[in-house]
Amino acid sequence: MLLKALIVFLLIGVLVSLFTGLGFLFKDSGATESKRTLYALGARICFALALLVTVGYGLASGALTLSAPWLGH
């Protein structure tokens, strides 16, 4: 249950960072020295990497399973 909550938290973090970066992109379109969009991109990459590692760990440890009907389990 904790692993699934962590995955949801990281997914929300990716989405918040995505829309924050979009807002910074529009607000700072004329300012050449502003790096807020770049920092939002870096945060999104970190959240996405942590999300992939967490899902990979969940699948490898057996805490998350695949239950698609086409897998034939």
Given a cut of 70, is residue 73 above it in pLDDT? no
What amino acid occupies position 50? A
CA distances from 32 to 43, 44, 66 (A): 20, 21, 46
> In the chain, what are the domain boundaries?
2-62
CA distances from 44 to 26, 32, 65, 68, 73 (A): 17, 21, 26, 29, 35
pLDDT at 57: 96
Given a cut of 80, is residue 31 above it in pLDDT? no
In this predicted model, what pLDDT tens digit does every residue of 38-53 receive, in sequence order? Answer: 999 999 999 999 999 9
